[in-house]
Amino acid sequence: MRTLAEIFAPGSPTLPEGLRTLDVSPERELEPGMTVRAAFTFTNHGGAPATGVRVRLNRPEGLVYLVGSGMLDGVPLDDEQGNTPLLAPAGAAIGDVAPGQRRRIELCYSVAGAIENGSTVEIQAAVASFELEPVGSNVVRLIARSKPNLRNSGSGAIVESRGEAVPGGEALVTVRVHNAGESSAHDVVVLAPIPEKTQYVPGSVRINGRELEGELGIAFDRLYAPVVARTLGSGATATLQYRVRIDAPLPDATTILLQTRIASQESLAFDLPESSLTVTAAPEFSGERNALRVEPSTGELLPGQRLRVSISLQNDGNARAERVDVTMTVDPGLAFVRASAHLDGAPLRERKRENLRFEIGALDAGESAELSVEFVLSSPQPASKELFVGARVSWEPSTALGERYFERRLTVVSRPHFVPRRNRLVRIGAGLVRPGESVEGEISITNTGSAAAHDAALLFAYDPSFERLEVFENDTPRALADRRLEIGTLEPFNARTLRLRAHLQSPLRDRAEASLRVALASQESEERSLGELRWTVDSHPLFSPERSRLERNESEALRPNRVTDVALHLENVGSDTAKNVNVRLFLAPEARIESVEGATRANSALLVGEIAAGASVEVRVGIRLLRSLAREYPLTLDAVVTADAMVPVQLERLIIATIAQPDFAAGTLRSEPNESIGAGESIDWTLRLRNSGDGTARRVEIAIEQPQILLYVPNSTTVNGVPVRDIGALPPFAAGRGIVFTAVEPGVEAVIRWRDVAHNQLQLGERIVRKARVSYDGERSEEITSDEVQVRAAPLLAGSIAGLPFGLDGIVGSALGGQRAVEEAPQVEAPQVEALAVPELALPELNGSTVTRSLIGTLVVLSPERLAQIERQLGEIRPGRVVGHLFALRALLPDAIGSAQIPSLDLLREGLRESLDRLFIKLRIPHYAMVERELETPALRATIENALADAALARGEPAPPSGKVASLTGHFDGEEVRALLERLPEAPLAGALPWFALAHFLPDERGAVARYRSALCAALGSLLACGPSEFLDRLTRTTDEGLDAALAGVRDSLASLQAR
């Protein structure tokens, strides 16, 4: 059961409305200070009395009980203290209520002075008895009507300074907003812009002591109307404070005015009373920057010397200074220099009167000015006289001190003086000097002071780069003592000139700096520098062909496969260290570098390293001659010396004479049998020849006379197993010049075998001796003699001869068929010579034979690969010069000649490829001139001679290629080629003859190819009479349009074959 104390407790549920007898006036709205009257009536409608009845009314928030207003049936219920039991928790005890009895309760409230606008006030009464639970009345709800009041004496704004308000100082702005109304003010904003002539101090704003900018999210001075309080309750105050910095400068008595407005949701914006702050400012010139300076700053002044007086002024105050003046007072010995007054670097107008009074004008606070005036000390003046210079500064407005006085004191001195313009060291000549040369300079000395300089001396300081120093005065040498030259007394305005000469040592590093300094000293003056001269050393290493050379101590000629020592002497005759010295050697291909001592070898270059200036290095190079050279071409060695910071130097060529001689003296001629032979028997001869020398025999002729006592067996001659045909009825070695070999390399061995038959009529005991004469290189010959073979003989009677059915009148010889067959000559393998390929021995040239004129066939197999190769080689030829047709000749050489295989053709193509490819590359060099040695090599000569010899001996036609392969055929006259071959040993390869002979091998099957062959033969035939130099000049400088057109026809013809 609920009691009256519980029903109106905070948080308890509202009591149900059981009685609707509660009347409240006013009925709807209430305002602060208004009286609210409540009357509650209830009646016992039951049949029994209600005992212990109690009545209670609630006390709503915002309402205050009006003392003395509580009544029961018109009788007051308040106690002595003025409290009414109707509002007590237990209510007012009104006793018993009889059945049908009616009771009336009355009470008055007063509305509080501060109540939130729109708040709801609920009033309810309740009655209870011992028998009945509390019964509630109807709930009367009233709405409060109130408003805030910000426009009151508690709201205001003030700007103030903690100390004296001066420009640059800080001021505090305080804005107070007080709510004197009955309800809260919402979203209170302050329109307080930063006062003019001030700047907001960042981060200084506070609201009731806490930081505000963090809540605003933006700088305070950038926000127009910041909200300082979301809710300002009735009677509450919000205080906004921030600091401002007063602008500087400002005039004195400047007023800073603060104008502020406030507003809220409930109140329109209104202005707060203005607040002002008066700034105090005054000019001042008491700081350290206000000073008087003189130049020279030493305080010593020479007669005739100018004195520059500078006055620096700065307004250290905080207000503008007006009418600033400077009045100078100086010693009578100082004469004012007219038009020398300058204010801030600008000249001032000259005044006729009061020329030492200068108007500066106005200076704002912090502004500065500088006044400079020049004076000249008159002469004469006593030494050590004291001079004074003063300046009085005045300004307006002035307070206690409106002026300031400055003063400096000077002392007159009289001493010697040396101005740099007339006392200096000057270089004579250029600034770039070589080591070992001399440099010169001139010293000028003039005492421009007012006193003599005593015990004057010149002090010299120079780098160790100088070996010695000489000084002359009027062409007279002056002696130096410990780099010091005493020159005595220097009278005023007496000029003296000295000349110095310094010798630079050698060697020196390139770009080194050589300097020489001279100073002047005397009793009266300190050491004074007259200047410094600098020279840049131009130093380089140098290797001259006269001092650096290639030497060979041995005087004898160098033979093949022998090593000779060559001394490379390098001497740096320059003046700087040679770094990265590199010597490149150019050696003929017939020799090679065998060893190097004293340097590092890198292919054909020698890395020597560094060679100091004046030093020398010797490098020993071992050179091996690989194969022999022609007499007219000695072994040459060229050397080019390179190093850093040096142009290459080519040393004098070293020519090493070479000698290589063939030697066939060790040949043997033997017979089988070797002691005796019977008449009519056969005898086999073997001639062994070996080039045991170290040179190539270009032409070897073997001639052996055929004696009458021996009968030669026809076609029995072989050379190294290769049969050699007889020449008519004579053996090949007995006809004409005999058997001829060409290009017989050292170590090559030739074995000639043949068979003879002893004559039947030889006498018993007759001796048979054969002699072979070997002639080579046209000037040497050897005679090889066989051992003696004795003849055995027996009597023979003619007539009846066994084995014949008839008689024979004659001499019966031995049956050749019963004799030994000619042994097959063993293959003699030529020994290998180091680094040289020994060419095959050429077949013998048959001289004096009568051969029937016949044509020999040639064949060029045009496989797809060969066609492409020919097309590429012909395409690389540049038309316009005859030399290009040598490459065309190589491209169209045949693959086969005659019916037999000729290996020398492959060697010919390979030799031409090596020589002409090298020539092809060199011809691309601009302005390249061909020389004879480009074509004249022993290997190429032997290859061409072998090929022509084999072609001259060929017979028949080559077999056509198998399959569907295109080909080109041709023919040449073997006798014509043989005739050209006989002329070839005396003809140079740098002439037209060898190439004219090779042109006969070109095919003539197709019309275009035949025309080109004819044109090429005609062109080369016209050059047969030319010497090597003229032939090479014709090749490289002349053109043949007809020959070029014929070659173009060959390309077109071959292109049609390739298209098929």
Domain spans in the chain, listed from the N-terminal domain onward: 4-144, 156-279, 291-412, 424-537, 549-588+604-656, 661-793+824-850, 855-1059
Identify whether 397 is preceded by a cis peptide bond (ω within 30 of 0). Answer: yes
CA count, 13 A, side-chain hemisphere, 945? 29
pLDDT of amino acid 439: 92
| pLDDT (0 to 100) of residue 692 | 87
Contact 1003, 974 (CB under 8 A): no
Q: Which two tokens stand for residue 858?
A: 């040639």
CATH topology assigned to domain 156-279: Immunoglobulin-like (2.60.40)
Per-residue pLDDT, 611: 92
Mean pLDDT of 945-971: 85
For the stretch 335-381, pLDDT in tens is 988 888 999 889 988 877 778 888 888 888 888 999 999 999 887 67
Query: On the CB side of 1031, how many CA atoms lie within 13 Å of its CA?
Result: 25
pLDDT at position 565 is 92
List the beta bridge partners of residue 685: 671, 754
Element (H, E) at 35: strand 35-43
Identify the three-state secondary structure at position 1043: helix
* pLDDT value, residue 854: 65
> Which amino acid, 433?
V
Query: Under a CB-based contact definition with an 8 Å cutoff, are residues 320 and 283 in contact?
Result: yes
CB 443 within 8 A of CB 458: yes
Q: For residue 646, name the pLDDT band (cuts at 50, 70, 90).
A: confident
Question: Which SS3 state, helix, strand or coil, does residue 1033 take?
Answer: helix
Whether pLDDT at 839 is above 50:
no
pLDDT value at position 401? 60
3-state helix, strand, coil in the chain (%, to 5): 15, 40, 45
Residue 1059: per-residue pLDDT: 62
Homologous superfamily of the 424-537 domain (CATH):
Immunoglobulins (2.60.40.10)
Task: Specify the fold of 291-412.
Answer: Immunoglobulin-like (2.60.40)
pLDDT at 876 over 80: no
In the predicted model, is pLDDT for residue 850 greater than 60? no
The two domains 4-144 and 291-412 share their CATH topology (first three levels equal): yes
Tokens describing residue 159:
């700007």
Q: What is the pLDDT of residue 822?
A: 33
Give tens-digit pLDDT for 230-284. Answer: 888 888 999 999 999 988 888 878 898 988 999 998 888 899 899 898 888 888 8
Report the percentage of the chain scoring pLDDT > 70.
Answer: 92
How many Å apart are CA 470 and CA 443, to the nearest integer? 13
| pLDDT tier at 604, thresholds 50, 70, 90 | confident
439 pairs with which residues across the strands? 502
Condensed to tens digits (0 to 9), the pLDDT of residues 728-770 reads 778 988 887 789 998 888 889 999 999 998 887 777 778 889 9
| Cα-based distances in Å from 910 to 244, 751, 886, 916 | 105, 28, 14, 10
Q: How far is CA 828 from the centre of its chain?
A: 65
**Would you call 1044 helix, strand, or coil by DSSP?**
helix
CATH 2.60.40.10 fits 549-588+604-656, yes or no: yes
Q: pLDDT tens digits, residue range 193-222?
A: 889 989 999 988 888 888 888 777 788 888
Please give the CATH number for the structural domain made up of 661-793+824-850.
2.60.40.740
Nearest in space to 623 (alpha carbons), one of 608, 636, 640, 607: 636
- Does residue 165 or residue 451 have the better pLDDT? 165
Q: What is the pLDDT of residue 840?
A: 33
The CATH architecture one would assign to domain 4-144 is Sandwich (2.60)
Of 300, 451, 311, nearest to 377 (Cα)?
300
Is 642's pLDDT higher than 70?
yes
Single-letter code of the amino acid located at 32: P
Average pLDDT value over all residues in the chain: 84
Is the predicted pLDDT of residue 833 greater than 60, yes or no?
Answer: no
Does pLDDT of 518 surpass 90?
yes
Please choose, from the candidates 589, 606, 605, the residue with its C-alpha nearest in 3D space to the C-alpha of residue 597. 606
Stretch 495-509: mean pLDDT: 90
Q: Residue 631: pLDDT above 80?
A: no
pLDDT digits (tens, 9 = 90+) for 779-821: 788 899 988 888 886 665 444 444 455 555 544 444 333 333 3
Q: How many CA atoms lie within 13 A of 950 on its CB side?
A: 24
pLDDT (0 to 100) of residue 715: 86
Structure tokens belonging to residue 196:
């003019």
Name every residue whose Cβ is closer than 8 Å to that of residue 176 and which is 6 or more positions away in sequence. Answer: 154, 155, 156, 157, 237, 238, 239, 240
- The percent of residues above 90 in pLDDT, for the chain, comes to 23
Reported in sequence order, the residue ranges of 222-290 that DSSP labels E, i.e. its strands, are 227-232, 237-246, 254-258, 261-263, 270-271, 275-279
What does the alpha-carbon distance between residue 675 and residue 671 come to, in Å, rounded to a whole number?
A: 8
Using CA atoms, how far apart are residues 841 and 748, in angstroms rounded to an integer? 8
Q: Which residues contact 581 (CB under 8 A, 6 or more apart)?
A: 570, 607, 608, 609, 610, 611, 617, 641, 642, 643
Closest CA to 778 of 662, 699, 694: 699
3-state secondary structure of 508: coil
